[in-house]
């Protein structure tokens, strides 16, 4: 029994020894790296940072980012390195940087910040960028290489050159080469100037500007040639950007005017309340977003049919209550609809608010489509342009392929003859006015993504809408499309040197002179209506 007892005792001791072996062999290696960084004197901080980078730990970037943002501290009593999540007030919220576990709050007096100076912080940006250059996602690598432009120093040259040899993505390679070229130009390397000759990045231009002012005549001459090449490219990109903004502005004018072109062409009504129908569509978008908080994308999609219906119903009410009694009297309809526009504006001010309302742009409409370093296209304007073309195509389909479109074209060309053929002109008037008003509501939905929604929203577009209709040809949809895009682009081209007000005056004078030569617009009506 004693032998058995001794054997069991020995076995238990051995197991206890195995269990109680210090967990140093299994301890998270990141702990030693962080402690080393926290305890390193200023002369050895860089060495401690390099050790973290060389470890290949997935958490390395987060640790270094926290260190650079002064969010690494040590608990005075235990020496444990912690991550500061919130450093406001007396008690700071902390977490374990190894596991991410929230450790609750601790008095700031019990914590010592891990010190960092500006020199180390500047180098840290490049080091963190080097970490991102090893990411699997090429977009992350390209963004990292772009951020490194202008931040490369002697210590980063060798790692970047090594990365360049392994890099497979052409876009990332170009960014790394440009980052290295900026550093070399700053060192007086003339050959590196050629690499930057095609770059549109601001830091590349800054490096070339400095080189152009250099005492080295050869370097200055090469830099000036590169800058001249870049300047030409910048002008082309600026022209492309101006054209894009002009087309986007023109697409807004098309949306605002196309409904007016239908009603004006068929009924001969000068509807000064058309701008307020646009306003109703914009307020409908805002209202739907209030019903669906936190879901701006769904709210916007639902606002398209809702905005059309609200404006169409308002248009039917206006037509039945006022306009049908003033047929054939355009001046009276102008005054009556102007009064309606004032009533609608005041109604919105009273029921909702005189203050502007902001409509939230969905995430998928936010941001920009980056073409290059000098040109980016805002997505909200791109979507508005596409929406305008879709609405235009839908209206063309209605006018060409439906019975309503056939009746509208018949009434437009000869109302009396259309009546004699059995077409109910009154019904056509109602449906036409409802359609034109509904399209105005769609214009309001689109405008809500470009500007604030307010009672005076429609007033900014009513005059421009009439100019588009007259310039394109009354009642002609193709004329409205071409006129809207043309006037929007012309106005955008004039604004940079003439100013917003003078640009509009020049456009107005141009239209006045144009209709002196072509009173019926770009695309005049056909049929007997064209003779009236």
Confidence band (pLDDT; 50, 70, 90) for 26?
Answer: low
**Count of structural domains within the chain:** 2
Q: What is the pTM of this model?
A: 0.75
Q: Is residue 98 part of a domain?
A: yes
Q: What is the pLDDT of residues 464-487, one digit of tens each?
A: 888 888 888 876 788 889 988 988
Residue at a domain's end among 92, 118, 144: 118
When pLDDT is averaged across residues 93-118 and rounded to a whole number, the result is: 86
**Mean pLDDT, rounded, of the chain:** 83
| The domain boundary residue, chosen from 118, 133, 151 | 118
Phi/psi of residue 420, each to 5°? -65, -20
- CA 358 to CA 146: how far, in whole Å? 34
Give the model's pLDDT for residue 308: 94
On whether residue 344 sits in a domain, the answer given is yes
Tell me what pLDDT residue 311 has.
94
pLDDT of amino acid 137: 81
Q: Which domain holds residue 34?
A: 29-118
Residue 263 lies in a domain: yes
Q: Is residue 278 part of a domain?
A: yes
Q: Comparing C-alpha atoms, which of 371, 369, 368 is closest to residue 200?
A: 371
Q: Give which of 391, 366, 133 is closest to 261, Cα–Cα.
A: 391
Tokens read off for 209: 């500007």
Do 248 and 114 fall into the same domain?
no
Render pLDDT for 178-210 as a digit per residue (tens, 0 to 9): 888 898 888 888 888 888 887 888 888 888 888
Q: CATH no. for residue 417? A: 1.10.3470
242 and 112 share a domain? no
Helices (H), strands (E): how many in the chain?
Answer: 21, 7
Between CA 448 and CA 300 the distance in angstroms is: 10
Average pLDDT over residues 234-259: 89
Q: Is position 323 within any domain? A: yes
> Is-contact 159 187, C-beta < 8 A?
no
Q: What is the CATH number of the domain that holds 47?
A: 2.30.30
SS3 70: coil
Q: Same structural domain for residues 102 and 245?
A: no
Q: Closest by alpha carbon to 114, among 153, 87, 152?
A: 87
CA–CA separation, 380 vs 363, rounded Å?
Answer: 10
Q: Does position 356 have pLDDT exceeding 50, yes or no?
A: yes
Q: In the beta sheet, which residues pair with residue 82? A: 73
Residue 399 domain flag: yes
377 and 246 both lie in a single domain? yes
Top-confidence residue, 347 or 420: 347
- Give the model confidence (pLDDT) of 261-283 as tens digits: 888 767 777 888 988 999 999 99
**Mean pLDDT value of segment 511-521:** 84
Do the beta carbons of residue 126 and residue 156 sit within 8 Å? yes
Structural domain ending residue among the three candidates 118, 143, 159: 118
Write out pLDDT tens, residues 449-462.
888 899 988 888 88
Q: Out of 23-27, 307-311, 346-350, 442-446, which region has the weakest mean confidence (pLDDT)?
A: 23-27
**Does residue 461 lie within any of the structural domains?**
yes
Q: Is 202 part of a structural domain of the chain? A: no
When pLDDT is averaged across residues 31-44 and rounded to a whole number, the result is: 84
Residue 18 has pLDDT above 70, yes or no: no
């Amino acid at each position: 029994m004693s032998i058995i007892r001794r054997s069991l005792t020995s076995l238990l001791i051995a197991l206890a020894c195995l269990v109680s072996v210090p967990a140093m062999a299994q301890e998270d290696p990141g702990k030693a790296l962080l402690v080393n960084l926290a305890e390193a004197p200023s002369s050895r901080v860089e060495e401690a940072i390099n050790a973290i980078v060389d470890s290949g730990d997935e958490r390395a970037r987060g640790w270094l980012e926290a260190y650079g943002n002064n969010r690494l501290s040590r608990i005075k009593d235990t020496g444990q390195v912690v991550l500061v999540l919130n450093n406001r007030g007396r008690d700071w919220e902390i977490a374990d940087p190894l596991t991410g576990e929230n450790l609750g709050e601790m008095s700031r007096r019990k914590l010592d910040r891990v010190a960092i100076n500006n020199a180390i912080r500047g180098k840290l940006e490049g080091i963190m960028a080097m970490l991102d250059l090893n990411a699997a996602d090429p977009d992350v690598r390209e963004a990292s290489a772009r951020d490194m432009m202008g931040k490369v120093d002697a210590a980063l040259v060798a790692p970047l050159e090594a990365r360049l040899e392994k890099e497979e993505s052409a876009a990332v390679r170009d960014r790394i080469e440009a980052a290295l070229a900026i550093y070399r130009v700053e060192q007086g390397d003339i050959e590196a100037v050629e690499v930057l000759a095609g770059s549109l990045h601001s830091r590349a231009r800054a490096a070339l500007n400095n080189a152009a002012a250099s005492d080295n005549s050869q370097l200055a001459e090469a830099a000036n040639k590169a800058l001249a090449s870049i300047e030409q490219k910048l002008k082309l990109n600026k022209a492309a950007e101006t054209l894009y903004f002009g087309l986007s502005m023109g697409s807004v004018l098309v949306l605002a005017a196309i409904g007016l072109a239908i009603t004006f062409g068929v009924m001969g009504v000068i509807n000064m309340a058309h701008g307020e129908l646009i306003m109703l569509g914009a307020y409908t978008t805002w209202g739907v977003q209030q019903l669906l908080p936190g879901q701006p994308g769904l709210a916007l999609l639902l606002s398209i049919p809702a905005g059309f219906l609200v404006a169409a119903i308002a248009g039917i009410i206006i037509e039945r209550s006022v306009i049908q009694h003033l047929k054939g009297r355009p001046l009276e309809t102008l005054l009556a609809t102007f009064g309606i526009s004032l009533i609608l504006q005041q109604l919105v001010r009273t029921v909702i608010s005189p203050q502007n309302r902001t409509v939230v742009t969905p995430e998928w409409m936010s941001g920009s489509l980056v073409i290059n370093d000098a040109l980016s296209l805002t997505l909200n304007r791109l979507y508005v342009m596409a929406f305008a073309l879709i609405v235009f195509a839908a209206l063309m389909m209605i006018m060409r392929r439906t019975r309503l479109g056939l009746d509208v074209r018949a009434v437009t060309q000869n109302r009396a003859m259309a009546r004699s053929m059995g077409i109910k002109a009154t019904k056509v008037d109602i449906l036409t006015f409802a359609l034109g008003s509904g399209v105005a509501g769609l214009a309001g939905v689109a405008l809500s993504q470009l500007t604030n929604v307010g009672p005076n929203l429609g007033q900014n577009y009513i005059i421009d809408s009439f100019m588009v209709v007259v310039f394109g040809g009354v009642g002609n949809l193709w004329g409205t499309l071409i006129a809207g895009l043309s006037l929007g682009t012309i106005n955008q081209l004039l604004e940079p040197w003439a100013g917003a007000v003078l640009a509009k005056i020049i456009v107005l004078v141009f239209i006045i002179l144009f209709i002196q030569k072509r009173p019926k617009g770009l695309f005049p009506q056909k049929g007997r209506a064209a003779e009236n």
